[in-house]
Structure 1
Amino acid sequence: MSVGSVQAAEKIVPPPDTVEKLAWLTGCWLVDGAEPGTGEQWSTAAGGTILGASRTVKGGKTTEFEFVQIRITEPGQLAYIVQPSGKAPVIFNLLRQDKPREFIFANLDNDFPSRIIYRHDSDRILHASITGTLKGKFTTIDFPMTRTHCDAVSNERAR
């Protein structure tokens, strides 16, 4: 089966009742093996929305950042809406929920990424990944993360 026919066969699923099903994202997550400060921070669910921000630090400087909303959109679809490094927002609708703590969002019109996956393995371990076509080749980039206190980066700099 070709990638195109697999994508065509996948259906968007009905959203969960509320964004609270993703409440386990709340807090701060550092990307394992990356420079200090590289990771994600997620708000608590309120008003039907979870807000997030991510930052990539290389050579002691922020090289990339994203602002994210997870919310139910007007058509009633749970969506991951990302605005990368000040660019226009891109909407990824919930494609499927494989387990209570694994969510796959997709925008098959977006080359890279076309899918964003969040899997919560334990209270302290999160696996995020992005997949899609990058430079003509199907690519997956993994972001293993560990929960931290949100003031951990500030405390590191104070030392």
Structure 2
Amino acid sequence: MKRVNFGFIVLLLLVSNSGVFAQKSPDKLFSFLLGSWEMPGTKGKIVEQWVRNTDQSLSGKSYRINDKGDSTLTESLVIKKINESVFYCSTVTGQNEGKEICFRLISTTNKTYVFENLNHDFPQQIVYQNQGKKQLLAWIEGMIKGQKRQSKFQYTRK
């Protein structure tokens, strides 16, 4: 009888913990993103900036700054709660007919946050890894023509 109770308790804990990140508001869960992040590129730098909104979501933007200092917006971002799930939604300049594409948060393990949309062509996953106050690693990954692809972005806080 004790074995059955222990198994039931483990099952109950697994089920209740699977939605823990859905219970927190995005502005608290992703507060480590707030501010400005930069990554050097071959022709300038990539900048990602995040702010907290009054509705407990976060808004971000990603842009490229060339060597002359000219900037080009590449992506508008939002992390928000829809029903009981948290989503990372992106509107990429010149893609998807200007429509927002959303990825559902599926994992929060070891300061690594995985968003997934298996119906999207590429990427199918967007991942952020909190590496402390000054470092942030992000990557996108998925399948293209049957081959797994991944692009990494190592940011430094500015």
Give me the TM-score of the superposition, normalised by structure 2.
0.76
CA displacement 1:80-124 (0-9 Å, x = unmatched): 01101152100100011112x221000011121000000011100
Rounded to whole Å, the distance in 1 between the matches of 2:135 and 2:31 is: 14
Name 2:46's counterpart in structure 1: 38
Aligned to 1:5: none
Indicate conservation of the 8 Å contact 1:23/1:45, yes or no: no
Aligned to 1:154: none
- Within-5 A mapping of 1:42-53: 42-53=50-61
Q: Report the CA distance between 1:76 and its aligned residue.
A: 1.4
Q: In 2, Cα distance between the equivalents of 1:113 and 1:132?
A: 5
Higher helix share: 2
Residues 6-155 of structure 1 aligned to structure 2 (within 5 Å) = 13-14=18-19, 15-19=22-26, 20-57=28-65, 60=68, 62=71, 65-73=74-82, 75-85=83-93, 87-99=98-110, 101-148=111-158
User: Is the 2:44–2:64 Cα contact (8 Å) retained in structure 1?
Assistant: no
Unaligned runs of 5+ in 2: 1-17
Give structure 1 stretches of 5+ with no counterpart: 1-12, 149-159
Say which structure, 1 or 2, has more relative contact order (CA 8 Å, 6+ apart).
Answer: 1
CA distance in 2 between partners of 1:140 and 1:32 (Å): 18
Cα RMSD (Å) of the superposition?
Answer: 2.1
Computing the radius of gyration from Cα coordinates, the structure with the larger value is: 2
Q: CA deviation at 1:141?
A: 0.2
Matched-pair identity in % = 25
